[in-house]
Chains A and B, each alone.
Chain A
Amino acid sequence: MNSHHTRILGRAAVLSLAVVIVAMVAVAWTAASARTEWPERPVTLIVPSGAGGGTDLTGRMLAERLEARFGQPFTVINQGQGGGVVGIGAMTGARPDGYTLGILYNFAHYKALGQADFDVDDVTPIAQYNFDPAGFQARADSPWPDLPAALDAIKADPTGVTIGCAGGCGGSWPIAVASLLAAWDIDPARVRMIPSQGANASLQDLAAGGLDVVPCSLPEARAFLDAGLVRALAVFADQRLAAFPDVPTLEEAAGLTLTLGAWRGVVGPADLPEAITRRLEAALRDIVHDPDFRAEMAAHGFGLRWRDAAAFEAFMRAEEQRVHAMIRDLGL
């Protein structure tokens, strides 16, 4: 056999070997994808807020525990641009294969205000794990001894009072305080609502004398409360918070029953396969009821609230309607 033949034979051999390998890989791959279960590679958890904030901290706490349960890394990706619109948009637009999940929080105002176009139908609810009731904060030297005095003063002169939104004016805190004003027969559209870059910015302006009221969670206001710069007149919860035993509930302070504030949950893109949703829901149920997780959440001042997928979806739909109605009333 001369070298020419050898070369042709060799080429044929290489070619057929290549075909066999490709075929084997293809068969193995289809078999593998049919056989192996989710998750077979790392899962991305989109946190629609910057590194270091409350959503990021709780997201990382969950990711660490999900990783331990599923044996695959749950990678936290921070996308806090545009007040979270970018991150939520990336999550709702991802392929519903279970490899992109996200943390979601009060989001209904984005669509109502024309800032984004996602709603509950764009997500697959998995579970809610957190709820932080709003607090009603005034400056330490404000003339109002209690909540009814503050509400009466606002009623007497709505345009003379400025309320910080602790973020955008469609967010969880201003919606909560607007609901309170409406319950006290004050037209929330007449009160001056002032947006800011977040709870800290509004609280600082409150301390500097630029605002009269700032609604936000008590843990967010803790540094200002401890420093004696601001006072919390009430908390929008059905019972007092363990970490803030001196702050009365809304019912104690003003005889109103409103439970309003900020919530966080885990969601996936719409049409997430049922099996994956169930497995995640079960894992999150274990995590949220795990004493170690509860202790860590409490240590950081985060409130716990468990809602399974069905209850979470019903809650988000009700909230979406309420927020849209309130934003109409506010004239935003």
Chain B
Amino acid sequence: MTPAALGAALALLLTPQVLAVMAGAAVLGLVVGALPGLTATLGVALLVPFALLLEPLPALAGVVTLAAVAITAGDLPGALLRVPGTPASAAYAEAAHRLARRGRAGLALGTGLVCAAVGGVAGALVLLLGAPALAGLALHMSTVERFWLAVLGLSAAAVVAGPSPPRGALAVLIGLALALVGLDPVSGQPRLTFGLTDLSGGLGLIPVMIGLFAVSRVLAHALDPKTDERAPPRIGPVFAGLGQALGRRRRAIALGGGVGVVIGAIPGAGADIAAYVAQAVARRLTPGRTKGEDDHDLDAIAPAGAANNAAIGGALVPATVLGIPGDSLTAIVIGVLMLNGITPGPAAFLLHGDTMAAVLLAFLLANLLLVPAGLLALALARPLLAAPPVVLMPLILGVCLVGSYAVERTTTALVVTMAAGVLGLLMERGRVPLAPVVLGLVLGPLIEEMALTSLMKAGGDPAVLVERPGALGLALVTAAVWGVPAVRAGIAHVRHPRDSD
């Protein structure tokens, strides 16, 4: 971008109207993000009718601000109540809550906040500088490459599954099974719908996630109120030790940002998947030293916190450059662009260059504003902590049901949310991890669709999966991810049979 174009874009952006809309969107983002059950996608969908009334730039600046702030604010109830505010925060809600229980909520939230800002800014910079290159890469992804990427993503389940591989595998299978309900993605035949039209659309990702992560907590509390009778976590100092904690995780945060941008740019996966995959990649690629519990939990927060915000920037790449939505959130962004007479695509940058540049700058600015907005949210969260769980938990349940209904607009979604809550409770009781369920739920249908359509193109010849160079490369990476640890374990077993038993 030339300095002149940058100046023109800044002049468009820094007007009282745009800044006022961004501030309003940030407040709305804080609210939807911090309330478990209300997701960033819902917040953005709520903005659509208002976007009709606004000029294109304030409307879009508001949308990107809301998305960035909501995903970050989701960390708050995750740390304080162990109920993630948005599915994107689910990856590290557990770790953040453990820190909070040890009186270090401030450190957990501070880390999440700074990592979110770093990841978000990285995503915004990639969007500003490298969007065309990334879009070109995304354009070379045929169904075969996307099949391998989805398989690779599912491999992350092995890492985030926790200490027990069989339980992790069970969780993946539960996710895959839940994803089977609805019209089959290839032939469109109803599957496991029991003849109910309401189930044709499947169980719905958002109701299931809200149920698994938020409603299950409410139910657990209702069954056993004593668990929450311990003193509520205090926030504690936010900045003490923060510099050191972040400095030591420079590489993990950078990895998280990078993984987030790439995952976000792949159509089908979103911020929630990006958080899990970043955690898995960081755990593999940054060497583990002997360290305390706090360090272990911060290791889980840093890369995932950076990744979920970077993923928004990543998802905006194909959305703005090609008009291809990366997830449900950017699908709405495209709708808002079109509502304002801008058809996203390469031509948009020629015809509305200043507006598009200003939107991208607004996203950058929103990510910089995350830190003050997050600190404000922390201050507001203090009185929330004083509320007894007897009051808080029913409220959360209510908001969860409202949130599910508002996204799906069907009463089926309410039943699904409650059923998923019961499932989540049972899984927790059986010490089955929840994270792999999300991976199975999102990536299962993608793997199925990509594998089947690839085979249909080739008339059933499986060689099609490794014929294209990109596909072959990704297949080898996948094989390495699964094969190398197994081989290594095998060698270790041969050398020191006793140790690895």
Contact between B335 and A56 (Cβ–Cβ < 8 Å)?
Answer: yes
Chain B binder among A31-39, A146-154, A198-206, A256-264: A198-206
Contact between A52 and B185 (Cβ–Cβ < 8 Å)?
Answer: no
- Given that A82-B201, A85-B201, A205-B142 are contacting pairs, would A52 and B48 also be in contact in the complex, using a CB cutoff of 8 Å? yes
Partner of B197 from A60, A85, A224 at Cβ < 8 Å: A85
How distant is the Cα of A56 from the Cα of B331 in the complex, in angstroms? 12
User: Is B409's CB within 8 Å of the partner chain A?
Assistant: yes
How distant is the Cα of A31 from the Cα of B174 in the complex, in angstroms? 56
Contact between B322 and A223 (Cβ–Cβ < 8 Å)?
Answer: yes
- Given that A85-B197, A200-B323 are contacting pairs, would A52 and B335 also be in contact in the complex, using a CB cutoff of 8 Å? yes
Contact between B332 and A81 (Cβ–Cβ < 8 Å)?
Answer: no
Contact between A226 and B204 (Cβ–Cβ < 8 Å)?
Answer: no
How distant is the Cα of A264 from the Cα of B338 in the complex, in angstroms? 18
User: Is A86's CB within 8 Å of the partner chain B?
Assistant: yes
Contact between B345 and A223 (Cβ–Cβ < 8 Å)?
Answer: yes
User: Is B358's CB within 8 Å of the partner chain A?
Assistant: no
Chain B binder among A127-135, A188-196, A279-287, A316-324: A188-196
A84 CB to closest chain B CB (Å) equals 9
Contact between A52 and B188 (Cβ–Cβ < 8 Å)?
Answer: no
Chain A residues within 8 Å of B459, by CB = 159, 192
List which A112-139 residues lie within 8 A (CB) of chain B.
113-116
How distant is the Cα of A89 from the Cα of B267 in the complex, in angstroms? 28
Contact between A51 and B335 (Cβ–Cβ < 8 Å)?
Answer: yes
Contact between A226 and B200 (Cβ–Cβ < 8 Å)?
Answer: no
User: Is B395's CB within 8 Å of the partner chain A?
Assistant: no
Partner of A300 from B138, B204, B338 at Cβ < 8 Å: B338
User: Is A210's CB within 8 Å of the partner chain B?
Assistant: yes
User: Is A106's CB within 8 Å of the partner chain B?
Assistant: no
Contact between B189 and A116 (Cβ–Cβ < 8 Å)?
Answer: no
Contact between A85 and B200 (Cβ–Cβ < 8 Å)?
Answer: yes
Contact between B182 and A82 (Cβ–Cβ < 8 Å)?
Answer: yes
Contact between B409 and A200 (Cβ–Cβ < 8 Å)?
Answer: no
B345 CB to closest chain A CB (Å) equals 3
User: Is A331's CB within 8 Å of the partner chain B?
Assistant: no
- Given that A115-B183, A204-B139, A227-B322 are contacting pairs, would A222 and B343 also be in contact in the complex, using a CB cutoff of 8 Å? yes
Contact between B142 and A209 (Cβ–Cβ < 8 Å)?
Answer: yes
- Given that A208-B141, A223-B343, A223-B347 are contacting pairs, would A51 and B48 also be in contact in the complex, using a CB cutoff of 8 Å? yes
Contact between A210 and B142 (Cβ–Cβ < 8 Å)?
Answer: yes
Contact between B141 and A52 (Cβ–Cβ < 8 Å)?
Answer: no
User: Is B15's CB within 8 Å of the partner chain A?
Assistant: no
Partner of B457 from A56, A93, A192, A219 at Cβ < 8 Å: A192
Chain A residues within 8 Å of B112, by CB = none
A99 CB to closest chain B CB (Å) equals 16
How distant is the Cα of A64 from the Cα of B48 in the complex, in angstroms? 13
B131-147 interface code vs A (CB 8 A; 1 in, 0 out): 00000001111111100
User: Is A181's CB within 8 Å of the partner chain B?
Assistant: no
Contact between A79 and B409 (Cβ–Cβ < 8 Å)?
Answer: yes
Contact between A89 and B200 (Cβ–Cβ < 8 Å)?
Answer: yes
User: Is B341's CB within 8 Å of the partner chain A?
Assistant: yes
Chain B residues within 8 Å of A229, by CB = 139
How distant is the Cα of A82 from the Cα of B186 in the complex, in angstroms? 12
Contact between B457 and A210 (Cβ–Cβ < 8 Å)?
Answer: yes
Contact between A205 and B143 (Cβ–Cβ < 8 Å)?
Answer: yes
Chain A residues within 8 Å of B409, by CB = 77-79
- Given that A116-B197, A201-B267 are contacting pairs, would A195 and B45 also be in contact in the complex, using a CB cutoff of 8 Å? no
Contact between A86 and B335 (Cβ–Cβ < 8 Å)?
Answer: no
Chain A residues within 8 Å of B139, by CB = 204, 207-208, 229
Partner of B336 from A52, A196, A224 at Cβ < 8 Å: A52
Contact between B48 and A83 (Cβ–Cβ < 8 Å)?
Answer: no
Which residue on chain A has the smallest CB distance to residue B333? A52
Partner of B200 from A116, A219, A222 at Cβ < 8 Å: A116
Chain A residues within 8 Å of B45, by CB = 51, 78
Contact between A204 and B267 (Cβ–Cβ < 8 Å)?
Answer: yes
Partner of A114 from B189, B198, B457 at Cβ < 8 Å: B189
Contact between A79 and B322 (Cβ–Cβ < 8 Å)?
Answer: no
How distant is the Cα of A35 from the Cα of B345 in the complex, in angstroms? 53
User: Is A42's CB within 8 Å of the partner chain B?
Assistant: no
Contact between A86 and B201 (Cβ–Cβ < 8 Å)?
Answer: yes
Chain B residues within 8 Å of A83, by CB = 183, 188, 200
Contact between B140 and A208 (Cβ–Cβ < 8 Å)?
Answer: yes
B445 CB to closest chain A CB (Å) equals 10
Chain A residues within 8 Å of B183, by CB = 82-83, 85, 115
- Given that A60-B52, A205-B142, A210-B457 are contacting pairs, would A227 and B197 also be in contact in the complex, using a CB cutoff of 8 Å? no
Partner of A86 from B144, B187, B410 at Cβ < 8 Å: B410
Contact between A204 and B331 (Cβ–Cβ < 8 Å)?
Answer: no
Best-buried of A81, A159, A200, A211 by chain B (most CB within 10 Å): A81
User: Is B408's CB within 8 Å of the partner chain A?
Assistant: yes
B315 CB to closest chain A CB (Å) equals 14
B303-327 interface code vs A (CB 8 A; 1 in, 0 out): 0000000000000000000111100
- Given that A51-B48, A82-B202, A83-B188 are contacting pairs, would A162 and B457 also be in contact in the complex, using a CB cutoff of 8 Å? yes
Which residue on chain B has the smallest CB distance to residue A46? B409
Partner of B334 from A52, A81, A113, A205 at Cβ < 8 Å: A52
Partner of B325 from A77, A200, A227 at Cβ < 8 Å: A200
- Given that A115-B190, A205-B142 are contacting pairs, would A52 and B197 also be in contact in the complex, using a CB cutoff of 8 Å? no
- Given that A56-B335, A115-B188, A195-B186 are contacting pairs, would A81 and B324 also be in contact in the complex, using a CB cutoff of 8 Å? no
List which B169-208 residues lie within 8 A (CB) of chain A.
182-183, 185-190, 197-198, 200-202, 204
User: Is B240's CB within 8 Å of the partner chain A?
Assistant: no
Contact between A194 and B338 (Cβ–Cβ < 8 Å)?
Answer: no
Partner of A197 from B182, B185, B189 at Cβ < 8 Å: B185
Contact between B201 and A81 (Cβ–Cβ < 8 Å)?
Answer: yes
Chain A residues within 8 Å of B182, by CB = 81-82
Best-buried of A114, A169, A210 by chain B (most CB within 10 Å): A210
List which B36-90 residues lie within 8 A (CB) of chain A.
45, 48-49, 52
How distant is the Cα of A219 from the Cα of B188 in the complex, in angstroms? 25
User: Is A301's CB within 8 Å of the partner chain B?
Assistant: yes
How distant is the Cα of A78 from the Cα of B331 in the complex, in angstroms? 14
User: Is B344's CB within 8 Å of the partner chain A?
Assistant: yes
Which residue on chain A has the smallest CB distance to residue B51? A52
Chain B residues within 8 Å of A204, by CB = 138-139, 141, 267, 322, 324
Which residue on chain A has the smallest CB distance to residue B323? A223
List which B423-466 residues lie within 8 A (CB) of chain A.
449, 453-454, 456-457, 459
Give the 7 A-B residue pairs with the shortest CB-CB distance, closest first.
Answer: A81-B201, A52-B335, A223-B345, A82-B200, A210-B142, A89-B197, A82-B201
Residue pairs across A and B with Cβ atoms less than 8 A apart, 6 shown, are A52-B331, A52-B332, A57-B339, A86-B201, A195-B187, A205-B143
Q: Apart from A52-B338, A115-B189, A204-B139, what are 20 other A-B pairs with CB-CB below 8 Å?
A: A51-B45, A51-B332, A52-B333, A78-B409, A81-B408, A83-B183, A86-B197, A113-B188, A113-B189, A159-B459, A169-B188, A170-B188, A192-B457, A194-B453, A195-B188, A197-B185, A208-B145, A209-B468, A210-B143, A223-B347
B residues touching A (Cβ–Cβ < 8 Å)? 45, 48-49, 52, 138-145, 182-183, 185-190, 197-198, 200-202, 204, 267, 322-325, 328, 331-336, 338-339, 341, 343-348, 408-410, 449, 453-454, 456-457, 459, 468
